[in-house]
Amino acid sequence: MFAPRISLDQWRSLNAVVETGGYSQAAAMLNRSQSSVSYHIARLQDLLGIEVFRIVGRKARLTEHGEVLYRRSQQLLREAEQLEQLAHTLEQGWEAEINLVVDAAFPPALLMQALKLFEPQSKGTRVQLNEVVLSGAEDALVEGNADLVIGASAPSGFLGDHLISIDFIAVANPAHALHKLKRPITASDLDKHLQVIIRDSGYARKMDFGWLQASHQWSVSSIDTAVTAISNGLGFGWLPRHVISSYIDKKNLKTLPLTEGQQYRASLQMIYGDSENAGPATRTLAKIIKDVVISNSQV
């Protein structure tokens, strides 16, 4: 294994000389003697076997090779600082990583807004985001693969708080045969046509939501694929209002005039993987998500 011969102190001295323009100024910046800074630079050049600085008048100027090394050393020093900061935050109890599992029905715009707000407060904590459908969230909780979940229901042994309600609306392409009936549509009418459903990503506790009585069904793995299929005239289905509102405005989708069940509402909950031992980063992220949902519901 290769062992680096240049110390961080030597790279730090290099950066200080560049940023201040001279050895004496760098020494003052680093609170060291000028001879110490000079020794670090001389030793760095000896070990590398190349000239990093040239003295021009009273100032130290980078050589062409020095410019390259200076840029890379800046990144090295930043990463070293971040590593030490991460160790400090871990010592304070902040998690190194949060496994966030989110039902695909949760509005992506709200999720991205929350993650953007969390990032400056994360103290180096990484977020591993996994999007699931229906019981996929339950599976993650039961198997211990989630620190924080936004899902349709909490399995036995877990408690969840209501976070947001999502409206699903029955739609089809405006040119679909169901719209050509030009009258209220019944369940028997639906049964004669292809229904596009979003497949449950879980495997232990499969869930069903909405009307699923059509004799002819195709299943897809994501909401986006279902929207694409239905807006292109392939069947009908129930899709989240926040996802399809623009498609309806552009007349790529049209609400089906059902005699009943034109829409249904699904509740999504916020659930901790281990509520008693959830760390400060996980709780901070949970609060930010809740605040984002509340603030957007008031708009």
Per-position b or e across 135-145, b if 16+ CB within 10 A of its CB:
bbbbbbbbeee
Which residue type, as a one-letter code, is found at position 236?
F
Predicted pLDDT at 209: 52
Supply the DSSP symbol for 221.
S
**pLDDT single digits (tens) 173-203:** 999 999 999 999 999 999 999 999 888 887 6
Q: HSE-up of 171 (CA within 13 Å, CB side)?
A: 29
Bridge partners of residue 196, in order along the sequence: 218
Calpha distance 261→272 (Å, rounded): 32
Which residue type, as a one-letter code, is found at position 139?
D
The residue count of the chain comes to: 299
pTM, two decimal places: 0.68
166-266 CATH fold = D-Maltodextrin-Binding Protein; domain 2 (3.40.190)
Evaluate whether 8-91 and 166-266 have a shared fold.
Answer: no
Beta strand 97-103 with 126-132 is: parallel
List, in sequence order, every beta strand (DSSP E) within the chain.
53-56, 59-62, 97-103, 126-132, 148-151, 160-172, 194-198, 216-220, 236-240, 254-255, 263-272
Beta strand 59-62 with 53-56 is: antiparallel
The CATH architecture assigned to 97-163+268-297 reads: 3-Layer(aba) Sandwich (3.40)
Q: Which of 34, 37, 39, 66 is nearest to 51 (CA)?
A: 66
**pLDDT single digits (tens) 209-253:** 555 566 688 989 899 999 999 999 999 999 999 999 999 999 999
Q: What are phi and psi of 113, to 5 degrees?
A: -65, -45
Query: Which of the residues in the chain have pLDDT under 50?
Result: none
Q: Which of 209, 196, 217 is nearest to 133 (CA)?
A: 209
Bridge partners of residue 56, in order along the sequence: 59
Structure tokens that stand for 189 in this block: 């009418």
Structure tokens that stand for 237 in this block: 């289905």
Structure tokens that stand for 130 in this block: 């996994």
Domain ranges of the chain: 8-91, 97-163+268-297, 166-266
CATH of domain 8-91: 1.10.10.10
Q: Which of 167, 268, 249, 258 is nearest to 213 (CA)?
A: 258
- Secondary-structure percent of the chain, ordered helix, strand, coil, rounded to 5: 45, 25, 35
Predicted pLDDT at 206: 58
Q: Which of 110, 97, 101 is nearest to 290 (CA)?
A: 110
